[in-house]
Amino acid sequence: MEYDTLVLTTFLKDQGKLFPEPVAETEEEAEEFLSDCMAVVLDKLEDVREYLDEMGMDVTGLGDEELEDAAEVFLIPDGRYLVLEG
């Protein structure tokens, strides 16, 4: 998967919600890290819920806000979602 600049800059800015120390400092490092993690970009929160469910995460009791706040879910400013595999 290719990641656009908006996805990469959002990950760089918000990576602290998932990692105690930065795992990437440049867009190139972020792209490599996200590729290694097999991160996906999804268009809707419904897609995020379905994806995490398929990956084995129990999301049945999570409301939309809780799902958006999950450590592995990053809200992209244009409304898409970046999701890292746990």
pLDDT given for residue 86 in this prediction:
58
- Written as tens digits, the pLDDT of the chain (86 aa) is 899 999 999 999 999 999 999 999 999 999 999 999 999 999 999 999 999 999 999 999 999 999 999 999 999 999 999 999 85
The reply to whether the predicted model has a pTM over 0.85 is: yes
**Domains of the chain, residue spans:** 5-83
Strand stretches in the chain, DSSP E: 40-42, 73-75, 81-83
CA–CA separation, 22 vs 32, rounded Å? 14
CA–CA separation, 72 vs 56, rounded Å? 14
